[in-house]
Structure 1
Amino acid sequence: NLNSFRAVRSSIAYELERQVGVIEAGGAVAQVNMGWDEDKQRTVLQRSKEDAHDYRYFPEPDLPPLAVSRAEVARIAATQPELPGAKRDRYEQAWGVRRIEANILTSEAQVSSFFEDAVAAYGASDGKPQRLATWMTGELFRLLYADGEGQDLRQLAAVKIRPDQFAALLKLVDDKVINQNTGKKVLETMYATGDDPQAIVESEGLAMVSDTGVIDEAIAEIFAANASELERYRGGEEKLFGFFMGQVMRATKGKADPQAAKARLAELING
């Protein structure tokens, strides 16, 4: 006889331990009515019967017999939403998403819905779902956590970015329209404004610089402004390569194609 869910939980935990102890001691668990003593945090005997029929069980007259066929069970089961565990397994097995991201993405309905809509727009092959998962759980959730109170992923429902816009941003990075660092900056603007990534790139002039002529010009100016560092590099201080690479990215406002810039710098610095 229990009067709250808390009492149910506590008494079950207590009885599990008590009854195991009785059986392990060679005793038998009697069929009795127990109550929960909140002050003593234990169950207490209320009454006992000699056998089950002494409890005088009888059918509820207002509840007619209910026969449910296997077909009906299957029909009802088919209408139920996919459970988080099944969804997580599908993300891992069908889309190749790592377990750690799959757990996060299936923790809230709003999150899994956003992710699946983004996959539909971005693609489900060539590792794209994992790439989306990495950007969502890393970059997008970083902005979400900073903007809200605590790590409540249900706030994603109020974010201005649409799943198709999020997918479009990653396509711009994949197509080398922008580099990854610029992509993160564009995402911040999208989060604040809800604007499309392509429009942000065009309005702010963020397109990646792949023109070797522009990169070569920037490198020449950097060499001229850092003659002593250039001499030290050519004298054997190869760690200065990172310094020059940073200067190239700074000179191009972070828009240079990192691979193209690195290749041109490696060729010119040793020339």
Structure 2
Amino acid sequence: MSDYLTTIGLEVHAQVRTASKMFDACSTDYAGGAPNQCISVVSLGLPGALPVINQRAIELAALTGLAINCTVQLHSVFARKSYIYPDLPKGYQISQYDQPICTDGWITIEGDDGQPRRIGIERLHIEEDTGRLVHYPDGTSLIDYNRSGMPLMEIVSKPDIASPEEAKRYFQKLRQILMWIGVNSGNMEEGALRCDANVSVRPASQQAFGTKVEIKNMNSFRAVERALVYEVERQIDVLESGGSITQETRGWNEAQGITVGQRSKEFAHDYRYFAEPDLPPLIFEPAWVEARQAELPELPDVRCARFIADYALSQQDADLLTTDRAVADYFETAVDAARAIQGTPKDVANWILGEGFRLLNDSNEESTNLGTRMPVAHLINVMDLLAQGKITRTVAKQVFEASFQNGQPPDQIVAEQGLTQISDTDALATLAREVIANNPKAVDEYRRGKKTAIQFLVGQIMKATRGQANPQTARTVLEAELDTDA
């Protein structure tokens, strides 16, 4: 493998979150609905139907371009991309070709060497999505045109990606940015975000790129990585055996873990691109681009760096807290609220990344639900009860989970369930004597100098009180009882 160099470029197709489709007023709210309900004369390509540009889709495409460091072109045009396929009722797709809306961008990922690595972006163009073919076991295929005409961005990277692992990280980073700025749902299962890859290999001594192969049908990050790993190995095996690579399109078969040849690769002239005669060019004033720039929020990399600088968080914690914008907002709101109880940013981060993420994962929920399931006020309430010594850390975790599950305020849960911390020395002394009597082996080990045995005995008190005993007070009482008995 080290004798060969891998070159990868990704083409990411991202639906734009707008209320209506790209070229007509038809609703985009088709998810989960019956087939062929969100359709119109334009999306079905009926004779005489004329397209009208969705202004918000154009604004969001420009916003995306700026978020990935592209230049927004002041003049761009739509083009017809002609091909015949059942999911394309007009016989052509309205897209862009040699004058796209955004060009020459980049995003930064972690390279295979652990260092920041810049991946160039060739272009971002906007187009209409196609319909969806549904295949049945009996060989029948039906067409759902609900998706037809959805506003779609195609983001094409430069061939700067050097491995399948980097390709996965690039796709993950791009998805994070698209969701962060609110232009895409990130839902790959529903086809809102899709990815094709172009991959080639060449001997390390060769300067020219190898023959590229396009891979389709990858609907997850894992699929992208697995498909590329397989395809790189396949191409190397072909070259090692004296063969040559055919430029073609191959599909990823998830079940078998292989790529399968589908058709010879098309070239641009096969699509017979020409300017779309039914739409005007897109002509922007610099002030319009500046207005889009003003819409951009603080982006994840910038916010991550600020979290490290302002809140003294580790790189790992800051990365996790900025994976999703809703979580980052939740964290900062909680940090502000925690100042009133002398809570630190690290305390807040620990609760979010520990109990918060654990419970979201257990319930198979998105991180965006954290603020709904555990309002900031409830998190601060738990932290305050713990800081005041009213509950132990063990109980605090139990209360956090209960509040997450049922929505009750933590102090109400503590009161109703009688979870207040036990610090009464007389009550703990009674428990300590019982623990000493029931655990003679641990007592003997303690008296023979094995001081760690006290931790076991404290644990028995904590167990007996369901975590409510003050652990430090319990230890002090235990040591006093042990010394008295000795």
TM, length-normalised to structure 1? 0.71
* 1:111–1:153 Cα contact (<8 Å) kept: yes
Aligned pair partner of 2:351 in 125, 128, 135: 135
Q: Compare 190-199 and 208-217 and name the one that shifted more.
A: 208-217
Aligned: 1:210 with 2:423: yes
CA shift, 1:179, in A, is 1.0
Aligned: 1:108 with 2:331: no
Q: RMSD of the TM alignment (CA)?
A: 4.0
Q: Which protein has greater RCO, CA pairs closer than 8 Å, 6+ apart?
A: 2
For residues 93-104 of structure 1, the aligned pairs below 5 Å read: 93-104=309-320
Q: Residues 229, 62 of structure 1: CA spacing in aligned structure 2 closer, same or farther, 3 A cutoff?
A: closer
* Structure-2 residue corresponding to 1:153: 367
* 1:119–1:167 Cα contact (<8 Å) kept: no
Aligned pair partner of 1:201 in 405, 414, 431: 414
Letter aligned with residue 262 of structure 1: R
* 2:454–2:475 Cα contact (<8 Å) kept: no
Letter aligned with residue 120 of structure 1: D
Aligned: 1:80 with 2:299: no
Which 5+ residue runs of structure 2 have no aligned equivalent?
A: 1-78, 82-94, 96-124, 126-152, 161-197, 210-246, 250-262, 271-279
For residues 169-188 of structure 1, the aligned pairs below 5 Å read: 169-188=382-401
CA shift, 1:245, in A, is 1.3
- Report the 3-state secondary structure (helix = DSSP H, G, I; strand = E; otherwise coil) of the residue aligned with 1:195: coil
* Structure-2 residue corresponding to 1:90: 306
Q: Residues 63, 253 of structure 1: CA spacing in aligned structure 2 closer, same or farther, 3 A cutoff?
A: closer
- Report the 3-state secondary structure (helix = DSSP H, G, I; strand = E; otherwise coil) of the residue aligned with 1:82: coil
CA shift, 1:268, in A, is 2.6
- 2:199 and 2:451 map into 1 onto residues whose CA distance is 71
Letter aligned with residue 320 of structure 2: I
* Structure-1 residue corresponding to 2:67: none
* Structure-2 residue corresponding to 1:66: 285
* 1:117–1:164 Cα contact (<8 Å) kept: no
Letter aligned with residue 81 of structure 1: P
- Report the 3-state secondary structure (helix = DSSP H, G, I; strand = E; otherwise coil) of the residue aligned with 1:123: helix
Considering fraction of residues, name the structure with more strand: 2
- Report the 3-state secondary structure (helix = DSSP H, G, I; strand = E; otherwise coil) of the residue aligned with 2:374: coil
Letter aligned with residue 134 of structure 1: N
Aligned: 1:234 with 2:447: yes
- Report the 3-state secondary structure (helix = DSSP H, G, I; strand = E; otherwise coil) of the residue aligned with 2:373: coil
* 1:37–1:43 Cα contact (<8 Å) kept: no
* Structure-2 residue corresponding to 1:57: none
Percent identical: 27
Considering fraction of residues, name the structure with more helix: 1
* 2:343–2:383 Cα contact (<8 Å) kept: no
Q: What do residues 93-128 of structure 1 show as CA deviations (whole Å, max 9, x unaligned)? A: 111222212111111122122222222221299771
Aligned: 1:191 with 2:407: no
TM, length-normalised to structure 2? 0.42
CA shift, 1:77, in A, is 3.9
* Structure-1 residue corresponding to 2:191: none
Q: What do residues 215-253 of structure 1 show as CA deviations (whole Å, max 9, x unaligned)? A: 222212322344565345324454432331122212322
- 1:15 and 1:237 map into 2 onto residues whose CA distance is 62
* Structure-1 residue corresponding to 2:457: 244
Letter aligned with residue 112 of structure 1: A
- 1:166 and 1:114 map into 2 onto residues whose CA distance is 11
How many positions carry a matched residue from both structures?
239
CA shift, 1:165, in A, is 0.8
Which 5+ residue runs of structure 1 have no aligned equivalent?
A: 24-35, 47-60
CA shift, 1:267, in A, is 2.9
* Structure-2 residue corresponding to 1:33: none
- 1:166 and 1:254 map into 2 onto residues whose CA distance is 20
* Structure-2 residue corresponding to 1:261: 474
* 1:122–1:168 Cα contact (<8 Å) kept: no
Q: Residues 130, 236 of structure 1: CA spacing in aligned structure 2 closer, same or farther, 3 A cutoff?
A: closer
